[in-house]
Amino acid sequence: MSIVDLRSDTVTRPTAAMRATMAFAEVGDDVYGEDPTVRALEERLAGDLNFAAGLFVPSGTQSNLCALLAHCQRGDEYLVGMDAHTYKFEGGGAAVLGSIQPQPIEHAADGTLPIDALQRACKPDDPHFARTRLLALENTWHGRVIAQDYMIAAAAWAHSHGLGVHLDGARLFNAAIASGKPARELAAPFDTVSVCLSKGLGAPAGSVLVGSCELIRSARRWRKMLGGGMRQSGILAAACIHALDHHVERLADDHARAARLAEGLRGIDGIAVVGQHTNMVFIDIPADRLRALDAHLRAHDVRASIGYLPTVRLVTHLDIDDMGIEKVVEVFRTACPEPV
Ligand SMILES: *Cc1c(COP(=O)(O)O)cnc(C)c1O
């Protein structure tokens, strides 16, 4: 029986149709700017999101890092959420490789960074301080769609203080589908936007950074320095174009399945469903049950990221169907036979 893997939407494997498109992709050397499929992807996403230029990179981490490096110089600072991916989950790359200082800001419960907190953190021009240069936001943030009114206000605040604004839109299309707003509208307040094709969209690898010609030219230079200049990468770009053509609308199915999963788990003693946003479900499990639950799930071919924190994140994606959801609910039910 096949494994139902809820650890992340990065675990998706390319579909047969995607592999067929990859096999016949027209390719060239992209470092020479000669891969037509990579160019088509960059132009496609830049056009869709209404930006002048795009840059194909191997990962979302590298896309965000190229953006931070394009916006900031050594000794600059960026304002970023304490639980934001670019701050917390990217190895400190901006500081390590860019000499860019992060200024973490506490998130409000809805995931926003309150503008008065941004205002307090934004430094005046004074040699004591790093130069505040950039605001980096994220959508979706831990599955949550961030209110567009907030994005518009925060970007306007940043621009009025001379800061650039970057969006880590790893799951921008999940936000678009869930909110019913076009992705280009969600992207509009920002100077640069990074989008992952390798999450719910199902490509095997790849992110695209979009922005102005000037910022993307700088990001392209950084991509080369970071080792992200790939050669016949049209093979991968073809998968990304296929994902944009065929896997965007269906994100609604992942969201519906996450809602169904949350509903199924809500009826089980010993599990507290603490949130469901887009394709993610968050549950709290008593700490002393975590190891037994992990073993039980593994024994029944269900995978979840169970660490030592009581909150467990379950993520739906392209490779999980309705039967998979029913199976997961059943496996959780048998793992929790009586109240603990
Ligand atoms: C996954 C993710 C990224 C990029 O991750 P990679 O694994 O490097 O592709 C960036 N930001 C967010 C919010 C993500 O979820």
Q: pLDDT tens, 130-175?
A: 999 999 999 999 999 999 999 999 999 999 999 999 999 999 999 9
The number of residues making up the chain comes to 340
pLDDT band at 337 (very low <50, low <70, confident <90, very high): low
Is residue 148 lining ligand 1, measured as CB closer than 6 Å?
Answer: no
Over 80: is that where the pLDDT of 110 sits? yes
Residue whose Cα lies nearest atom 14 of ligand 1: it is 170
Are 207 and 198 in contact, with CB atoms under 8 Å apart? yes
**Mean pLDDT in the chain?**
96
List for the chain the helix, strand, coil content (%; round to 5).
Answer: 45, 20, 35
Cα end-to-end distance, the chain, whole Å: 30
Is residue 35 lining ligand 1, measured as CB closer than 6 Å?
Answer: no
Residue whose Cα lies nearest atom 5 of ligand 1: it is 60
pLDDT on residue 340: 45
The mean pLDDT value for 212-218 works out to 98
pLDDT on residue 2: 86
pLDDT on residue 335: 86
- pLDDT tens digits, one per residue of 242-255: 999 999 999 999 99
Instruction: Quote the percentage of the chain above a pLDDT of 90.
Output: 95
Are 51 and 212 in contact, with CB atoms under 8 Å apart? yes
Q: How far apart, in whole angstroms, are the C-alpha atoms of residue 6 and residue 319?
A: 10
pLDDT on residue 70: 98
Question: Can you read off the two tokens belonging to residue 97?
Answer: 């490789």
Residue whose Cα lies nearest atom 10 of ligand 1: it is 60
pLDDT band at 307 (very low <50, low <70, confident <90, very high): confident
CA of 164 to the centre of ligand 1 (A): 21
pLDDT band at 17 (very low <50, low <70, confident <90, very high): very high
pLDDT on residue 46: 98
DSSP-derived secondary structure letter, 195: E
Is residue 103 lining ligand 1, measured as CB closer than 6 Å?
Answer: no
DSSP-derived secondary structure letter, 124: P
Q: What phi, psi does 226 have (nearest 5°)? A: -80, 0
- pLDDT tens digits, one per residue of 26-74: 999 999 999 999 999 999 999 999 999 999 999 999 999 999 999 999 9
Is residue 71 lining ligand 1, measured as CB closer than 6 Å?
Answer: no
Is residue 60 lining ligand 1, measured as CB closer than 6 Å?
Answer: yes
pLDDT on residue 336: 67
Q: Which residues pair with 137 in a beta bridge?
A: 167
Are 169 and 139 in contact, with CB atoms under 8 Å apart? yes
Instruction: Quote the percentage of the chain above a pLDDT of 70.
Output: 98
One DSSP character per residue, 132-166 reads EEEEEEESSBTTBPPPHHHHHHHHHHHHHTT-EEE
pLDDT on residue 339: 47
The mean pLDDT value for 78-89 works out to 97
